[in-house]
Homo-oligomer: A and B are copies of this chain.
Amino acid sequence: MKRTSRDIRRGNRNELLRYVIARSPVSRQELAAATGLSLATVANLVGELLERGVLVEVGFEDSDGGRPRGLVAMRADGGALIGVDVAETYIHVELFDLALRLLARAEEPLSESENRPEQVVGHITSGVRAVLDQAGVDIRLVLGAGVSMPGQVEREGGLSVFAPNWNWRDVPLRDLLAGALDFPVYLDNPLMACTVAELWFGAARGCDDVIVVNLGTGVGAGIAVGGSLYRGFSNTAGEWGHTTLVLDGRVCHCGAMGCVEAYVGAPGILNTLREVDPDSAILQLDQATAIGALADALAKEDAAALETVKRTARYLGVAVGNLVNLLNPQVIVLSSWVAARLGTALLSGMREAVAEHALPRPLEHTRIMLCPIATNAVSLGAATFALEGALAPGKA
């Protein structure tokens, strides 16, 4: 409950690092001005990060006749970080330098039958080997890997507590990976990962109260409060996909009825298409291809696609309006692969429903936008967890 000085120090350090990553090289004075921390605190944190080899002194700048100011930057080659996005149909692995710049990526497709833990571990390790080979990076430089795993995750124990699509329960994924990989592994879920990515690199940098609406097969809402991830009491906050939008509405795969996910998750969108045009050829395709085909049909102003997206945008707008009213956020970001394909149309289509359902006072302060991160936000956020882990107290 109580925040300790250690929590504060970690929060301050993360905020400082976010700024260094965005603006390297920077002076301590600029960092103090940008973060609101005192110059003494900044100097202290920078000193620690220089000592750990995370930052490096890179020169000086004039200060209008005063003493020249020392500039620091991320020590990009001070280590490497890996971010892994485990999804239902693929495993995406990315390798980053310490400045979180992408060095290499690999994608391992997963067939529907390949979902035993040892198969997933095999794909992750072969993806890791692939990115290290591509970039020519020695595995001994890797400070850690963040692994985003769908469903519910117990971070401390490194367990996949429940992965609904694969029916995993309490799989010790971190320990299984530790047998195959020679660096620390940090397990978390995609909602937390893509929210952290927005905080560090995306639309939410410098923002306090943020919601990242993740639109994929499943849907969820990552929440940040005061610039930090909000996890809830047992790390399951953000299950916006399973809030009720339509009392007694469509059956959701969670077993309840009328959930947001049953309307704006990819299968829900395809169900809406089925209502609009039961004979649509798109319905024969697998889910990801179908959403792409829907986007293509929309671009050609196909009537069924237009109507499907219009209805979906309305559902989404009402459900996003709920978030505005309940949480009064500064920014709402639409993220993940469905947003990447249909986001522009959904964003413009949803405005009316948002305005109808959100109260004017909270809404006037809310920006609603698409995820600006060009690469995989989940891998990037997962790698950030590895950076945070490497910097945690007690680590060298």
Contacts and interface: CB of A to CB of B under 8 A. Distances in A.
Interface of A: 1-5, 8, 11-12, 15, 35-37, 152, 161-162, 206-209, 221, 223, 225-227, 230-240, 242-247, 249, 254-256, 315, 318-319, 321-322, 325-330, 356-357, 359, 361-362, 364-366
Given A243-B326, A325-B242, A361-B161, A11 B3 contact: yes
Contacts of A325: 239-240, 242-243
Given A1-B206, A243-B325, 11 more contacts: A2-B36, A232-B329, A232-B362, A233-B330, A239-B326, A242-B357, A242-B359, A247-B315, A247-B318, A256-B321, A322-B322
Contacts of A365: 233-234
A240 B36 contact: no
How many copies, total?
2
B8 A237 contact: no
B15 A243 contact: no
Q: Chain A interface mostly helix, strand, loop or mixed?
A: loop
Given A35-B2, A225-B225, A227-B2, A326 B256 contact: no
Nearest to A36: B2
Contacts of A321: 243-244, 256
Contacts of A2: 11-12, 15, 35-37, 227
Contact of A318 (B208, B225, B244): B244
B247 A233 contact: no
B244 A322 contact: yes
27 contacts: A2-B37, A3-B3, A3-B8, A3-B226, A4-B36, A209-B232, A209-B233, A225-B225, A231-B328, A232-B329, A232-B362, A233-B329, A233-B330, A234-B362, A234-B364, A237-B327, A239-B326, A239-B362, A242-B359, A243-B321, A243-B322, A244-B318, A245-B247, A247-B249, A247-B318, A256-B321, A326-B326
Nearest to A246: B247
B236 A328 contact: yes
A387 to B, nearest CB: 19
A232 B152 contact: no
A243 to B, nearest CB: 4
A301 B212 CA distance: 47
Nearest to A331: B233
A375 B232 CA distance: 30
A240 B362 CA distance: 12
B236 A230 contact: no
Contacts of A240: 325-326
B237 A326 contact: yes
Contacts of A230: 225, 327
Which of A2, A226, A318 gathers the greatest number of chain B CB atoms within 10 Å? A2
Given A8-B5, A12-B2, A246 B243 contact: no
A327 B37 CA distance: 30
Contact of A233 (B162, B236, B328): B328
Given A1-B227, A225-B225, A247-B245, A234 B36 contact: no
A254 B322 CA distance: 13
A93 B95 CA distance: 62
Nearest to A151: B361
A327 B223 CA distance: 9
A223 B240 CA distance: 16
Nearest to A241: B325
A256 B356 CA distance: 6
A179 B196 CA distance: 48
Contacts of A227: 1-2
Contacts of A223: 326-327
